[in-house]
Structure 1
Amino acid sequence: MAVPRKGSYAEESAEVEVLFANMEKMQSLTKKIQGSLNRLDASGQTVKEALGPIYGNTQRLQVTDKNIDRVIEAIERLQAPRDQSNREERIIRAGPRNGDLRDYIASFDRSTETLAELKRSNLRANQQAISELSALVNLGTKQLEDVFRDLLRDESSRPVDPLEFVAKNNPFPLLTPESISTLRLIHRHITASIAQISNKEARESPTARIYAEIRGDHIMNSLRTLAAATLSTARKIAPDAIYKQGTNGIGMYAQALEGLIVAEYQSLSDIFPRDDWGPVLTSTCQAALSEFSKTLRDLNGHIQRNLMTDCFLGYEIVGIVSGLSLQLETKTGALKQTISESVKPIRETSKASLSKLLEDTRTRVQSLVALPTDGASVPVTTDTMTRLQTMTNYLSPLSSILVSLGPGGWNPSNGNSASTSFDVGVDGKGLFIDYAADTIDTLLQNLENKARSLLKGRPLQGVFLANNIAIIVRMIQSSDLQPLLPALDKKIGKWRKEASQMYVDAWREPSRHLLDVQYTNRSGRPHSGGGGVDSAAIVKALGSKEKDAIKEKFKNFNTSFDELIARHKTYKMEREVRSQFGREVQGILEPLYGRFWDKYHEIDKGKGKYVKYDKTTFGSTLASLA
């Protein structure tokens, strides 16, 4: 059994030896392959280093070859324009009027492009050609500008009467579509020519300058008559007449200016590119707006010379011109700032007028040397309220003016008078109510002071003050000031109460004679105010001295009452004042007299020697006061 096992081991050992022999051969072969790869890599690197410069030189030679081909092509292109320049020169020198304008423009464009290419070549050999072609392009540009100018002059030669369009509310005429088409074509090609020649865009094209010059003169000349009319309608016939809304020509002037500018904007927006609309419109309207500003300055001088009567013209102008600037901003997107600047002087004058009006009211009252002896109102009250009534026609511009002044800014003694800030939180209408209240307070305060110094007796002073208050209230109620009355009622009510007190105090004198002494320790005397007063019994119970005292009271009352009645009839009272005072006097005297008469009318046994008025007659007399 041991012999076979030994034989198998010998066989396996032989196989292992064969495997080891194969592995040694494989390792030897791998080393040889690796050595070959290393030698091949070194050879490749040597080849690369040798061929690199050759490849780079080949690329540069290819680029140089292409550049040479391009130079040859450029030279050929540069030679071609010089060959055809004679044909373009004949067309351009013949002028745009001797043929089809579009053919002329096409030739002009080709010349412009040729000139641009020659300039880009920067070859000394082309300098003469560049000089000649530049002169030719400049000639073409001038000729096209002349066509542009002539077209505009033909359009602008037609007279425009602004009143014809304003009165009928018709739009102002535009440039004709044919002219607009030609003008747009010329402008586009001239602008392109300038950009190509100079390699940059011109800040202002010659066509835009020509347009602004010719159309600007057209607008200004169309408005010249209205500018003159605006100044002439400001002249006063009656020096003291208050300006009436709409009588000045500024409204028509502003409407015409707006209509012409909007029409011009519509025309030029079809000629020039969008970015040029604002600048071209501004340049075109510059002359007309300068004339408009000059007219406003002249009007401002007139307003300053007639501030107390024509400040309302200033308010009207502020409203109209502010509306004009907003309309143009909406419709054209331009000119708002220019127009707003033009009205600034009048706006400043209008702001100053508010304090001047207050001062004028104060001065006019203080300068009075006499007051009506019957207590009638004075004209300064009516004039002051007329001013306030007139102001309601200009509430919109006045609100913006008052807001710019700030609360109380119209009062020089107020620290806000110099304020120019615009507080969006301030209510312009509320400020006008405050201004109206200050005006009324200033008027009545000075009237009261003047009455105390010039009128004798508080009753007459009270009548005078009450009459002026009645005029104030009546003029508020009968005008557009009426909605403001509730806000003013508290201040007016204070003055009305004071005037009433001054008048009624005089009637308290006779009422003192109707007071008697009650003897509570005497039995059998009926109490005053009882349901059934027996005057005969009361009088019979009086002693002789008491009876004489009652007679004296009736006598003194009659004298005092009759004097007051007579004096009352001499006063000039507004119907509201007479009614008010009559009711107040009746409310004071009638109850007192009725009680006194009930108790003591039997003092003269109906003879009327002491008891002049019975209750019915007394009541009728008091009722007649109202």
Structure 2
Amino acid sequence: MAPARHAAYAEESAEVEVLYANLEKMKSLSKKIQGSMGRLDVSGKVVQDAIGPIYGNTQRLQTTNSNIDRIMDAIDKARQPLDMRNREEQVLRERPDRVGLSQYIASMDRTNRALKDLKATNMKSNQKAVADLNGLLEVGTRNLEQVFRDVVRQDSQPIEPLQQIMRGAEFPRFSSKSSAELRTMNAQMSSFQSPAAGGTLSPSAKVYAQERGQYIQLSLQNLSAASLSTARKVNAEAVYKPGSNGIGTYCSGIQGMFIAEYACICEIFQREEWNPVLAATCQPALAAFGSTLRDLDGHIRTNLITDCYLAYEIVDLVSNTSFQLEEKTGGLKQQISDALKPVRETAKASLSILLNDTRTKIQQLMALPSDGSPVGITTDVMQRLQLMTAFLPPISSIMRSLGDGGWTSSSSSTAGGSTSSLPTTKSFDVGADGAQLFAHYSADTIETLLSNLDTRSRALLKSKAAQGVFLANNICVAERAIRASDLATLISASAQPKLDAWKKKAQSAYTDGWKEAADHLLDVQYISKAPRPPSTGGVDSAAIVKALSSADKKGIQEKFKSFNACFDDSVARHRAFRMEGEVRRDLGRAVQFLLERLYSRFWDRYHEVDKGRGKYVKYDKQQISGILAGL
């Protein structure tokens, strides 16, 4: 067993020796590997130090190359507007009507986009290119603007508005084709043109307003001239007749042309531009209209008493025109109101001037008809009021602005001076009844007329009878004028009480002339103690006369004689007066009422004093009654 065990140990010992030998080899190899690793680390560091800069430069070169590519792309993009400039310039330097409006507008759009792209690069080197494209767009805009002007001008030949007015035809407008072209061009110019400062018109709107404004002004100039020529007077004393001036046709022409123009503007421009463009377009015509109204105002103020009605007519026509334009266009009312202002102020002043004229003319009368005939100024004043009824709407408006009674203000202007007046506390009462204000004015006019006639008659006519007849005749003329016209329904309620009061005063003045005759018919004074004779029916004249003393009888006889003389004189004077039919009737009745009962009573009591001889008692009761009834 031992040799076998020894052999096993020997074999294991050999294996151990082999392992030790391999271990030594591994150690030697490890040392070599460690040495190689050390040398490799040193070599790696050397390589890293050598390759690192090369790698960094490569990255930077890649970035630079990328940047260069992008710059090249940007340059290519920047060059594109420059490259297209030559192509678009050929189009934009031609007229739009030659190359075609749509092609021309498309070229402007492309140029405008290129300009925006070029500005977005913000490169200083592109400033010249930006300037070139701006200049090219300006050329295109001017060409487009010129074609816009040509199209507007083509349909803007002056017309004669009277033909449209007489035929009742519509005023001419742009054709649908022209409107479409103008609308397209205006939209194009507005798309890249910044609005002017201060809210003024765009260039295309200015062109439109200039061309169409001239067209309207020239078209209306004959109507303006006609308004002035028809105002000239052949007879300085002639009173203006309603409708005889051309201002009505002028207003119709303005209204028709302005409304037609507004329709054209709405077809071409944006909504926010409609009223500004309309105002600018109509401005030349409105300026000419204002000048015409100022000239007419000067004529009216020179002939205010006879031509104030023209002022009322102008106020009516122009006010209606402004309302119509406001309704149809939404504008121009203020401009027309400004043009009307001088005439309106003159119309306001005329109301007080007419009252003053009535007063002055009466005060200047140096003599009055001795027969009591009415004077012409009464007819003139009533004709004024009658004529005013034809202009009741404008007069009512004027009176509302003055206020009730404002026409009597001392601050009212005169025809030769300023046409403004200070407002009263009742002024501007827009809710006032115009017809009632006119009635009050008419009543004041009649009061002014009659009060001044009364004052003048007392100064120039000696007898009260003549004064009464004169006043009554003038009242009759006034009443007749009222009944025969629209004044009857307008002013009767206001004027009639004043007329009745003046009629009573005139009647009282006239009957004063008969009171001397009436005084002779008063009862005698009884101084005896005898009982007073009865004064009721069934009077016994013989008994009464028999009871009188001789002196009393003589007194009664003298009374009859004096009455006869006064009565005959009064009757003759009455018949010598020139009385209007109504006046003769009313005054005759007043005298009859005054004398008939007195004489009848006096005759019943004392006619026997004459014993039927007719020496003292000239008239019996029937005769007196007949004479008085015939007055």
- Aligned mates of 2:375, 2:592 — CA distance in 1: 28
- Aligned mates of 1:170, 1:415 — CA distance in 2: 44
Residue aligning to 1:500: 507
Residue aligning to 1:181: 180
Write the mapping of 1:355-374 to structure 2, written as runs, cut at 5 A. 355-374=352-371
CA RMSD for the aligned pairs? 2.7
What per-residue deviation string (whole Å, max 9, x for no partner) do you get for residues 160-193 of structure 1? 2111122233321211111101000011001112
TM-score, length basis structure 2: 0.83
- Aligned mates of 1:415, 1:252 — CA distance in 2: 32
Change (3 A) 1:456 1:202: closer
- Aligned mates of 2:363, 2:294 — CA distance in 1: 34
Residue aligning to 1:573: 579
Shift of 1:133: 2.1
Residue aligning to 1:59: none
Please tell me whether the aligned partners of residues 392 and 435 of structure 2 are also in contact (alpha carbons under 8 angstroms).
yes
- Aligned mates of 2:533, 2:511 — CA distance in 1: 32
Q: Specify which of 395, 398, 412 is matched with residue 398 of structure 1.
A: 395
Does 1:516 pair with 2:518? no
Change (3 A) 1:330 1:73: farther
Please tell me whether the aligned partners of residues 194 and 202 of structure 1 are also in contact (alpha carbons under 8 angstroms).
no
Q: Specify which of 270, 284, 288 is matched with residue 287 of structure 1.
A: 284
Shift of 1:500: 0.9
What per-residue deviation string (whole Å, max 9, x for no partner) do you get for residues 37-93 of structure 1? xxxxxxxxxxxxxxxxxxxxxxxxxxxxx9999988765544433333333223223
Change (3 A) 1:326 1:515: same
Shift of 1:486: 1.5
Q: Specify which of 334, 338, 358 is matched with residue 337 of structure 1.
A: 334
- Aligned mates of 1:67, 1:507 — CA distance in 2: 131
Please tell me whether the aligned partners of residues 223 and 288 of structure 1 are also in contact (alpha carbons under 8 angstroms).
yes
Write the mapping of 1:415-454 to structure 2, written as runs, cut at 5 A. 418-419=422-423, 421-454=427-460
- Aligned mates of 2:340, 2:70 — CA distance in 1: 65
What per-residue deviation string (whole Å, max 9, x for no partner) do you get for residues 400-444 of structure 1? 222222333222447996217523354433332232222222222
Does 1:557 pair with 2:558? no
- For residue 609 of structure 1, give the secondary structure of its aligned residue in structure 2: coil
Residue aligning to 1:266: 263
Shift of 1:515: 2.1
Shift of 1:593: 1.4
Shift of 1:361: 1.2
Please tell me whether the aligned partners of residues 409 and 418 of structure 1 are also in contact (alpha carbons under 8 angstroms).
no
Write the mapping of 1:153-164 to structure 2, written as runs, cut at 5 A. 153-157=153-157, 159-164=158-163
- Aligned mates of 2:554, 2:334 — CA distance in 1: 90
Write the mapping of 1:84-95 to structure 2, written as runs, cut at 5 A. 84-95=84-95
Moved more, 534-543 or 385-394: 534-543
Amino acid of the structure 2 residue aligned with 1:419: P
- Aligned mates of 1:201, 1:84 — CA distance in 2: 36
What per-residue deviation string (whole Å, max 9, x for no partner) do you get for residues 231-260 of structure 1? 111111110111111111111111101110
Shift of 1:507: 1.3
- Aligned mates of 1:460, 1:608 — CA distance in 2: 32
- For residue 630 of structure 2, give the secondary structure of its aligned residue in structure 1: helix
Q: Specify which of 480, 484, 489 is matched with residue 486 of structure 2.
A: 480
Residue aligning to 1:234: 231
Moved more, 353-362 or 577-586: 353-362
Please tell me whether the aligned partners of residues 234 and 248 of structure 1 are also in contact (alpha carbons under 8 angstroms).
yes
- Aligned mates of 1:226, 1:347 — CA distance in 2: 21
- Aligned mates of 2:281, 2:519 — CA distance in 1: 86
What per-residue deviation string (whole Å, max 9, x for no partner) do you get for residues 484-533 of structure 1? 0211122222221111111111212112222224869756x862222x33
Write the mapping of 1:161-240 to structure 2, written as runs, cut at 5 A. 161-195=160-194, 203-240=200-237
- Aligned mates of 1:202, 1:454 — CA distance in 2: 71
- For residue 514 of structure 2, give the secondary structure of its aligned residue in structure 1: helix
Please tell me whether the aligned partners of residues 163 and 256 of structure 1 are also in contact (alpha carbons under 8 angstroms).
yes
Moved more, 101-110 or 123-132: 123-132
Does 1:528 pair with 2:532? no
Please tell me whether the aligned partners of residues 316 and 394 of structure 2 are also in contact (alpha carbons under 8 angstroms).
yes
Does 1:490 pair with 2:494? no
Please tell me whether the aligned partners of residues 194 and 201 of structure 1 are also in contact (alpha carbons under 8 angstroms).
no
Change (3 A) 1:583 1:84: same
- For residue 555 of structure 1, give the secondary structure of its aligned residue in structure 2: helix
Does 1:115 pair with 2:115? yes
- Aligned mates of 1:215, 1:287 — CA distance in 2: 10
- Aligned mates of 2:93, 2:226 — CA distance in 1: 50
Amino acid of the structure 2 residue aligned with 1:563: D
Moved more, 91-100 or 273-282: 91-100
Change (3 A) 1:512 1:67: farther
Matched-pair identity in %: 52
Moved more, 423-432 or 501-510: 423-432
Please tell me whether the aligned partners of residues 509 and 560 of structure 1 are also in contact (alpha carbons under 8 angstroms).
yes
What per-residue deviation string (whole Å, max 9, x for no partner) do you get for residues 450-480 of structure 1? 1111111111111111111111111122122
- Aligned mates of 1:233, 1:71 — CA distance in 2: 81
Does 1:103 pair with 2:107? no
What per-residue deviation string (whole Å, max 9, x for no partner) do you get for residues 570-603 of structure 1? 1111111111100111111111112222233333
Q: Specify which of 307, 319, 322 is matched with residue 319 of structure 2.
A: 322
Amino acid of the structure 1 residue aligned with 2:444: D
Instruction: Please list every run of 5 or more consecutive structure 2 residues that lacks an aligned counterpart in the other structure.
Output: 1-65, 414-420
Please tell me whether the aligned partners of residues 233 and 247 of structure 1 are also in contact (alpha carbons under 8 angstroms).
yes
User: Which protein is bigger by CA-based radius of gyration?
Assistant: 2
Residue aligning to 2:417: none
- For residue 269 of structure 1, give the secondary structure of its aligned residue in structure 2: helix
- Aligned mates of 1:597, 1:335 — CA distance in 2: 83
- Aligned mates of 2:199, 2:623 — CA distance in 1: 101
Please tell me whether the aligned partners of residues 326 and 336 of structure 1 are also in contact (alpha carbons under 8 angstroms).
yes
Change (3 A) 1:73 1:622: farther
- For residue 418 of structure 1, give the secondary structure of its aligned residue in structure 2: coil
- Aligned mates of 2:101, 2:120 — CA distance in 1: 29
- Aligned mates of 1:277, 1:596 — CA distance in 2: 93
Instruction: Please list every run of 5 or more consecutive structure 1 residues that lacks an aligned counterpart in the other structure.
Output: 1-65
Amino acid of the structure 1 residue aligned with 2:567: F
Shift of 1:199: 12
Count the aligned residue pairs. 556
Shift of 1:113: 1.8
Moved more, 341-350 or 564-573: 341-350
Shift of 1:130: 2.1
What per-residue deviation string (whole Å, max 9, x for no partner) do you get for residues 114-157 of structure 1? 22221232223333332332222222111111211111111012
Does 1:608 pair with 2:607? no
Residue aligning to 1:149: 149
Shift of 1:201: 11
Change (3 A) 1:560 1:379: same
- Aligned mates of 1:536, 1:273 — CA distance in 2: 111
- Aligned mates of 1:508, 1:464 — CA distance in 2: 19
Please tell me whether the aligned partners of residues 215 and 284 of structure 1 are also in contact (alpha carbons under 8 angstroms).
yes
